[in-house]
Structures are given as C-alpha cells and as structure tokens.
Amino acid sequence: MDGNCVSLNETLSNPALDTCYAVDNNDKSLSLSTIENKALSMISVDTKPSLCVKSDYHLIWCDNMKETLIREFCQSECLWNPKDKNYRCHRWKKVIMSQIARKMSIIYAVRVTENELLRQWNMLRDQFRRAKRTGKDQWRFYDHLLFLDSVDFNKDSTYWTE
C-alpha cells in the first residue's frame, strides 16, 4: 500500500490546487474548507467535530504534508535510526512524535495525530524500501528518503508502541 490513499487506497490530490482530502469511511462524504495559502488548501470531513478522533477517519496526506513529515523525521534520527542513542527510548520518541504532530497540525490547519504520523511514516518508509528493491527510483519521494540508506532495517525496526 502506498501513502497516496483515499478511502485508504486511492489518491484524490489535485495538483492544480495542491489540495488534500480526508474521507469519512462510513458515508464517503467530502467537504471543502479553503485556506488562503494554496499550499495549505484542505478538504476535510465536516460530519463530526474536528477534535473527535475515530478509527473511521483517516487523514489523506497531500505531497506537501508528506515532504514536511519526511523532513521532520530526517531531523529526528531517534525515530528511524537504530544506532541513535534514543532509538529504544519510547518516551522520548513519543515526545518527538507529539511535537511533530502539533507542528504539522498548525501548519496544515488539520488535526494530525501521532498515530496518523506513524501510519504515514510507515507507508512512506515501506514504499521507499520497495522502490529501492525493485529499482523504481522514479517514485516522487525516493530522493527525499535517501537518508534511510544509512541504516539497515529489519522488518519491524521502526514500528514502536508505548
């Protein structure tokens, strides 16, 4: 599964507007919420309060959000590099994830949870590993994730829970 998904599997990004979409999996409704900056234009589900977190809702990440996430992870080696001294410190990683989630929520005017960050990161990292293995280095985020070449991942190396 790649990181571009609507209804968790298809992308609805509109490159002309650089728009992101979120989907309510129960009724598949979408509603537009425009922000002045085109790069921050978002479509979100208005059927529930914005602070309500339910498993039926998944944030659909636009390319700008993915690039921001990659940049934040790159700067926080403890989240992805097993050789980092804080890699095994779950409390520290949770603090870093919380800071990234808060920062991205402010930048993109949409609630980004730690679970959504981790979910998206795992999809991006897995897609990078597949692209590298198959030689498909034309994937949009391949070059952004080349910092991962410095570590050798085993299957579960970046999956962590509290």
3-state SS, one letter per residue, for 67-102: HHHHHHHHHCHHHCCCCCCCCCCHHHHHHHHHHHHH
Provide φ and ψ at 155, rounded to 5°: -55, -40
Work out the angle at residue 113's Cα, subtended by the Cα atoms of residues 33 and 152, and round it to the nearest 5 degrees: 125
- Contact between 40 and 98 under an 8 Å Cβ cutoff? The reply is no
Q: What pLDDT does residue 139 have?
A: 86
Taking only the tens place, the pLDDT of each residue in 70-79 is: 999 999 999 9
pLDDT, tens digit only, all 162 positions of the chain: 333 323 222 333 333 334 444 444 444 444 333 333 333 333 333 333 334 344 456 788 889 999 999 999 999 999 999 999 999 999 999 999 999 999 999 999 999 999 999 999 999 999 999 988 888 778 889 999 999 988 765 544 444 443
Residue 23: the pLDDT is 46
Q: What is the pLDDT of residue 152?
A: 63
Q: What is residue 75's predicted lDDT score, i.e. its pLDDT?
A: 94
CA–CA gap between residue 55 and residue 67 (Å, rounded): 24
Token pair belonging to 55: 């498993």
Lookup result for tokens 């402010």: 106
The rounded distance, in Å, linking the Cα atoms of 100 and 107 is: 10
Domain ranges of the chain: 22-150
* pLDDT at position 154: 55
pTM summary value: 0.61
Token pair listed for 113: 């949870």
**Cα separation, 58 vs 6, whole angstroms:** 9
